Amino acid sequence: MAGTGPGARFYRQIKRHPALIPMIGFIGLGMGSAALYLLRLALRSPDVCWDRKNNPEPWNRLSPNDQYKVPPPSVHLGPRTPPPPQAMRGGLRH
């Protein structure tokens, strides 16, 4: 039963409907990009520790110049209050 495997069926389907080629290409590109991004996160992120034996506390290895995900305490992240109506019209008039 040659020619009945998944690869042969896929090839026949593509040959019958050539408009599927761009869709399959973009889906493959998206899946590849997602896989590369996950690989980058797993290998380059300071939050991930693969070697607990030699580096049990990876957060102690970060220098003051490294970028952290936690904002400094001086930054207020609460709800913003809208400016007073006079400020929106161009200033106060006396």
Residues 28-49 pLDDT 10s: 999 999 999 999 988 887 667 7
Give 55's contacts (C-beta < 8 A, 6+ positions apart). 49, 61
What is the model's pLDDT at position 28?
Answer: 96
Reported pTM: 0.50
What is the model's pLDDT at position 91?
Answer: 54
Tokens of 8: 């042969």
- CB-CB contact of 71 with 77 (8 Å): yes
- CB-CB contact of 57 with 63 (8 Å): no
**Spans of all domains in the chain:** 1-44
pLDDT in tens, 64-87: 777 666 666 676 666 777 666 665
Tokens of 33: 């990009």
Tokens of 91: 């200033």
Q: Token pair 């007073």 is at which residue?
A: 84
What is the model's pLDDT at position 75?
Answer: 63
Mean pLDDT of the chain: 78
